[in-house]
Chain A
Amino acid sequence: MNLLCATGANAQATPVRIDQQRIPDAQAPQNAYDEPANEPGVTVLDSAVLFYKEDGGRVQAIEPIVGVTVNKENGDVFSAKFTYDSLTGATPNGAAPATFEQTFVSPVGARGGDDDADGRTGASGGTIVTNPMTGQQVLEYTADANTLPLDPGFRDHRWALDLGYSTQLNSNLRASVGASVSKETDYRSFSGRAGLSQDFNNKNTTVSLGVNFEYDQSRPVFGIPDPLTEMNGLLKGPNDSKTVVSIVAGVTQVLSRNLLVQANYSYGSAKGYQTDPYKIISVVDAVSGDPLRSLYESRPRSRTRQSGYAAVKYAVGSWVSDLSFRYYDDNWGIKSITGEFSEHIPIGKRAYIEPSVRYYHQSDADFFSYFLLSDEVLPQFASADSRLDKFNAITAGLRGGVKLTNQLELYGMAEVYRQSKSGMLPQGPGAIAGQDLFAGVDAVSILTGLKYSF
C-alpha cells in the first residue's frame, strides 16, 4: 500500500471544513469527481478484477481484489485488501532459439498438480517420460525450430492480504503502520512497514518518511538448482530466502489552489536468493551457433536499488492533468527512466474518462546475456531473462468511471503494453546470428471494478 496514501498526504486533504463563502470564485461541483475524497466517517468497499493476457500463448492472469478502507471521524484510517492471482500459459525459459527442434527437461511435479504418470501430455504442458531402466520420471517439453523456447507449464495461484492503519498523533503529525503476507505455490512473502508524515507551512508542505521490511522465501516445487549447472530432471536443493529493507522519503507541496507537486526518494537493499530457479541460459557452439546445452541461471545475492520520483497534478476546471517521472538505478547495472501522463476528463455530471500514456526505458543488467559461448569461461553470474534486457516499453491506456449513485461507482480500464528491443541484438556466431533473441512481452489488460461508499 502506498505509504503516502496511508498517511493521508495532508498537504492536500485535511479535516478543515472549506468555507465556500470566503472563496470569491467558488462554485458548485460541475462533476461528481469534483466532490471531496474519502471524508472522515466514510467507509469505502472496493472490488475489482483484472484480466491480463500476453500475445503468443504466453502468460494469462485473472486477479480479483477486494478491499475496505474505514475513515474514522477522528481521522484514523484502517485498510484491508485481499488479492487472488491465477496465472496460466507459457513463459520464455531463457534458452535461445535454434535451427532445429530442442527438448528441455524438468523434474516431475515442477508445474501444476495433475501431471499424468502414464506418459500422456499433462494439463500443465509437456510429456511425462519414465526411464525404463531407473524408473525415474521427468517432464519433457519441446521448442520448434527457429522459435523462442517457452516453458508451457507456467501455472500458479497466489493470494495476498495487506493491512494498514494510520492515525493523527497531533494536528501536524501522522503515523502509519502496515503488514502484508503473500503466498503462492512456490513463494512466500511477509512484510511490515511504518511511517511518519509531518506537515509544515499551514499544511501546504508534508514531509514523509517510511521504512519497509520484507522477508521472501523461494520454494520451487523441485528445489533450488545449483547455479550454472546443467538442466536435468533431478530434484534440487533446499529452499532459499531473501530479505529486503527499503525506505521512502517524500515531500508534497501545494503550490496553488489547483497545483500540487510531489517528490520521492526511495532506497532498497535486498540480500539473499534472487535467482529465478526456473530460468536457464543456452551455451551455444562458438562456431556453428547451435545451442549445445542449457544451464540454470545465476544472479548475485545482493541488490541495492535507488529511485527518484516526481509528480505534478494540475486542475483546470474539472479537468486534471497528471505528469510523473521516475529515474531508477541499481547495482546490477540496470538504469531506467519512466514517464507517465494522464488527463482526467469529466463527462457529463457523473462520469469521466482518463486517457494515459507511459514510456519506459531500461538498460540491461551487467550479467545479462542472450547466450553463453562454448569457448568462454563460465561467468559467476549469467541470466537470459528478458526482464533484465535493454528495452523500451509503451503503455497506452484508457480508464473511466461513472457514479451510478452518490455512493456507488463503476470503473474500468483497458491498456495495451508493448516492449521492444532497445539497441542492437548481439552478432552471435553461426546460426544464432539470424535468430530473434528478444523475449519481451506484448500484453493487454482489462479491469473492471465497483466502489461503494457509506
Chain B
Amino acid sequence: MMRKLTLCFVLISAMLATSCASIGVQPWERDVLAREAMQLDANPAITGFHDHIYFSKEGSAGGRTYDGGGCGCN
C-alpha cells in the first residue's frame, strides 16, 4: 500500500512539475489564494495544539508535517 502511495506521489509531483502552465493562474489572479482564510495553515497555534494532543492520545503521527513529537507524551 505504501509503495503504491509513494509511487503515486512521485508520479504526481513529476507530472505537475513538468506540465505546461495551463494548470493554475496568472500572477495577477492570486487575490483569493493570498487570503488569510486560504492559507494551508491559517492558525499555527491551533495546529500546534492539535498536533500535540493527537500525538499524545493516538498511535499515529506525521502526514502534514514531521513524525517526531518532541515530548514524552507518547
- Taking the closest CB of chain B, its distance from the CB of A405, in whole angstroms, is 15
Q: What residues on B are CB-neighbors of A207 within 8 Å? A: 13, 16-17
A-side interface mostly: strand
Q: Are B49 and A63 in contact (CB under 8 A)?
A: yes
B40–A329 touching, CB < 8 Å:
no
Shortest beta-carbon distance from A83 to chain B in Å = 8
* Minimum CB distance partner of A16 in chain B: B27
Report which of B41, B53, B67 forms a contact with A305, defined as CB distance below 8 A: B67
Inter-chain contacts of A329 with B (CB < 8 A): 1-2
Chain B residues near A362 (CB-CB < 8 A): 58-60
Q: With A313-B40, A362-B59, A387-B74 as given contacts, are A52 and B25 in contact (CB-CB < 8 Å)?
A: no
Q: Give A160 to B72 CA distance when docked, in angstroms.
A: 12
The secondary-structure label for the interface of chain B is: loop
- Classify chain A's interface size: 35 or more
Smallest CB gap from A255: residue in B: B23
Shortest B53–chain A CB gap in Å is 7
Q: Does A236 contact B (CB under 8 A)?
A: no
- Please, which residues of chain A bring their CB within 8 A of the CB of B65? 1-4, 248, 266
Q: Tell me the number of A-to-B contacts counted with CB atoms below 8 Å.
A: 288
Residues from chain A with a CB closer than 8 A to the CB of B36 are 33-37
CB nearest to B47 among chain A residues: A2
CB-CB under 8 A from A417, the residues of chain B are 53, 57
Q: Using a Cβ–Cβ cut-off of 8 Å, how many residues does chain B contribute to the interface with A? A: 62
What's the Cα separation between A413 and B18 when bound, in Å? 41
**A1-51 residues at the B interface, CB under 8 angstroms:** 1-5, 9, 11-14, 16, 18-20, 22-23, 26, 29, 33-37, 46, 48, 50
Give Cα A207 to B16, complex, Å.
9
Other than the given A13-B33, A14-B30, 12 more pairs (CB < 8 A) read A16-B30, A18-B27, A158-B71, A201-B21, A205-B17, A253-B16, A254-B33, A258-B32, A260-B38, A263-B9, A305-B62, A308-B63
Q: Which 5 A-B pairs have the closest CB atoms?
A: A204-B24, A187-B72, A268-B67, A309-B63, A326-B63
Using a CB–CB distance below 8 Å, which chain B residues touch chain A?
A: 1-2, 5-6, 8-9, 12-13, 16-21, 23-49, 52-54, 56-72, 74
Complex A-B: 24 CB contacts under 8 Å: A16-B28, A18-B34, A34-B35, A36-B35, A37-B34, A37-B35, A37-B39, A48-B46, A160-B71, A186-B72, A189-B71, A201-B23, A244-B68, A246-B62, A249-B9, A251-B13, A253-B16, A258-B38, A307-B60, A315-B37, A326-B63, A362-B60, A419-B57, A449-B45
